[in-house]
Amino acid sequence: MFTSALHFVFENHFDAKAAFIAVAAPPWVAYVLWRAWQTPGQLRAWGFRADTLKPSAIGSLAAGLPVLAAMAVYGFAAGHLPPPWSFWVILAIYPAWGLVQQFLLNAILASNLRALLPAWATIPLAAVLFGLAHAPDWALVSLTAAAGLTWVPIYLWRPNLWMMGLAHGILGAVAYYAVLGRDAWILLTG
């Protein structure tokens, strides 16, 4: 919750995405390292693992490729593509941020909800909360909530944050440029 509040303040009041990442990342890195040290097997339980890589890749590709194609068609039709040079920089670095977001969405939010609720309730609730973390940018809220409806079931089926972070990074970069018509580099660097 605190991370979401920080995100809201930094994004909406200061327009400082990079500053938000710089402030929010160290406590989360410390938490992950502490939990991994305290609880053997915790990283694997969260989805930092190799044994579920293939099924997670299949699920991510099956869901992601049609979306990627649709975003490209839309992007060209809307005049948002071809992208500027900065797209390639964002495409290279966004998977790391995608991994962080997938960790928060799935390993933290969806896993904790799943401990309390059946999967049929966990999936839409986690997706809506993930979307709302991007408020008040309602276009981004819609895109991320829809993505959450895809990523949460894949994670619950075969938890693997590596593949989901990569898919998130690619789809997120394309969505910013092709669908939203925004240069994520400018949003990041201010």
The rounded distance, in Å, linking the Cα atoms of 171 and 68 is: 6
The Cβ of residue 175 has, within 10 Å, a number of other Cβ atoms equal to 22
Contact 106, 127 (CB under 8 A): no
pTM given for the model:
0.89
CA dihedral 94, 153, 123, 90 (to 10 degrees): 10
pLDDT digits (tens), the chain, 190 positions: 567 666 666 666 666 667 777 787 888 889 999 999 999 999 999 999 999 999 999 999 999 999 999 999 999 999 999 999 999 999 999 999 999 999 999 999 999 999 999 999 999 999 999 999 888 899 999 999 999 999 999 999 999 999 999 999 999 999 999 999 999 999 878 7
- CA of residue 124 relative to chain centroid, distance: 16
